[in-house]
Amino acid sequence: GAVVSQHPSWVICKSGTSVKIECRSLDFQATTMFWYRQFPKQSLMLMATSNEGSKATYEQGVEKDKFLINHASLTLSTLTVTSAHPEDSSFYICSALTGGQPQHFGDGTRLSIL
Amino acid sequence: KQEVTQIPAALSVPEGENLVLNCSFTDSAIYNLQWFRQDPGKGLTSLLLIQSSQREQTSGRLNASLDKSSGRSTLYIAASQPGDSATYLCAVRPQAAGNKLTFGGGTRVLVKP
């Protein structure tokens, strides 16, 4: 079945560091990719939606200069958390969608900022 | 604004019992509804996708129904196993939201051996 690969699965870094997370659709071309954030024991919160070759659309309250999204191809999107601080520590999950197919999710990236 | 609710928030059953998970949504104008499973510290695994024109979907021990007019979906898991322990999320894709899924809060399921 369709697979979305997310890398890395776990990142621990110092405050002030920028962290890049990659999301790849492995066996289909994703017209749209999504980035979510999830806090412990809560549901997913959509951060932004990106379409290949165009600027991402950010949800209200999400800082676009803080969370840079690049969707360079139909199979790759990246999320860069710039100058990360402890409050950015969270579980980030990407997702990919094409046509009327099920939306598929990556395994998530646990980001811990010290 | 579309709202999705899942009740109960948590459920504990003995192994072998059938599971019934409920999902309700406020706006019936949806493209589809999707059920997911999430294990601790992991992403979401798609279980079943029901298009708005369909009334149910089945995969193995899983069966999901959709009653769009009443804004409800139910996920049935037959003969539960300890490996079914996870959080189950339902999500709807509203017609008016530009492809953005709206998630319920999830039901945390524990199947006891």
CB contact (8 A) between residue A42 and residue B41: no
Of A4, A43, A104, the CB nearest to B103: A43
**Residue B73 above 80 pLDDT?**
yes
CB atoms within 10 A of CB A107: 18
pLDDT-derived band at A51, boundaries 50, 70, 90:
confident
How close B30 comes to chain A (CA, Å)? 12
The pLDDT score that the predictor gives to residue B78 is 97
pLDDT-derived band at A25, boundaries 50, 70, 90:
very high
Q: What is the pLDDT of residues A71-102, one digit of tens each?
A: 888 899 999 999 999 999 999 999 998 877 88
Hey, CA dihedral for B54, B56, B58, B64, is it positive or negative?
Answer: positive
Contact partners, residue B79, CB within 8 Å, separation at least 6: B16, B18, B61
**Residue A10 above 90 pLDDT?**
yes
Of A34, A43, A103, the CB nearest to B106: A43
Of B34, B89, B100, the CB nearest to A102: B34
The pLDDT score that the predictor gives to residue A38 is 94
Centroid of chain to Cα B98: 21
CA–CA separation, A24 and B75 (whole Å): 29
CA–CA separation, B35 and B59 (whole Å): 12
Q: What is the pLDDT of residues B7-65, one digit of tens each?
A: 999 999 999 999 999 999 999 999 999 999 999 989 999 999 999 999 999 999 999 99
How close A45 comes to chain B (CA, Å)? 9
How close B59 comes to chain A (CA, Å)? 14
B31 contacts in chain A (CB < 8 Å): 100
CB contact (8 A) between residue B34 and residue A93: no
Of B45, B100, B106, the CB nearest to A49: B100
CB contact (8 A) between residue B42 and residue A44: no
- In eight-state DSSP terms, residue B82 is G
Distances (CA, A) of A109 to A76, A94, B22: 16, 9, 29
A4 contacts in chain B (CB < 8 Å): 43
The pLDDT score that the predictor gives to residue A53 is 78
Q: Kindly tell me the number of DSSP H helices and DSSP E strands found in chain A.
A: 0, 11
A93 contacts in chain B (CB < 8 Å): 43-44
A108 contacts in chain B (CB < 8 Å): 41-43
Contact partners, residue A63, CB within 8 Å, separation at least 6: none
How close A104 comes to chain B (CA, Å)? 6
CA–CA separation, A26 and A75 (whole Å): 7
The residue that leads in pLDDT, A41 or A67, is: A67
Rounded mean pLDDT of B64-90? 97
